[in-house]
Chain A
Amino acid sequence: KAGVTQTPRYLIKTRGQQVTLSCSPISGHRSVSWYQQTPGQGLQFLFEYFSETQRNKGNFPGRFSGRQFSNSRSEMNVSTLELGDSALYLCASSWPVAGGSTDTQYFGPGTRLTVL
Chain B
Amino acid sequence: GQQLNQSPQSMFIQEGEDVSMNCTSSSIFNTWLWYKQDPGEGPVLLIALYKAGELTSNGRLTAQFGITRKDSFLNISASIPSDVGIYFCAALLGGSQGNLIFGKGTKLSVKP
What residues of chain A have their CB less than 8 Å away from a CB belonging to chain B? Answer: 4, 6, 31, 33, 35, 42-45, 48, 50, 55-56, 58, 90, 92, 94, 96, 99-102, 104-110, 112
Contact among B43, B95, B101, B105 with A101 in the assembled complex (CB-CB below 8 Å): B95
Most central of A6, A58, A102, A108 by chain B CB within 10 Å: A102
| Interface assignment of B70: CB less than 8 Å from any CB of chain A | no
Known: A42-B104, A43-B88, A107-B35. A101 touches B42 (CB 8 A): no
Q: Across the interface, do A107 and B102 meet the contact criterion of CB distance under 8 Å?
A: no
Chain A binding surface SS class: strand
> Size band of the B side of the interface?
20 to 34
CA distance A35 to B38 in the complex (A): 17
Q: Which residues of B (91-105) have their CB < 8 Å from a CB of A?
A: 92-105
Nearest-Cβ distance from residue B112 to partner chain A, whole angstroms: 23
Q: Across the interface, do B96 and A105 meet the contact criterion of CB distance under 8 Å?
A: no
CA distance A90 to B25 in the complex (A): 24
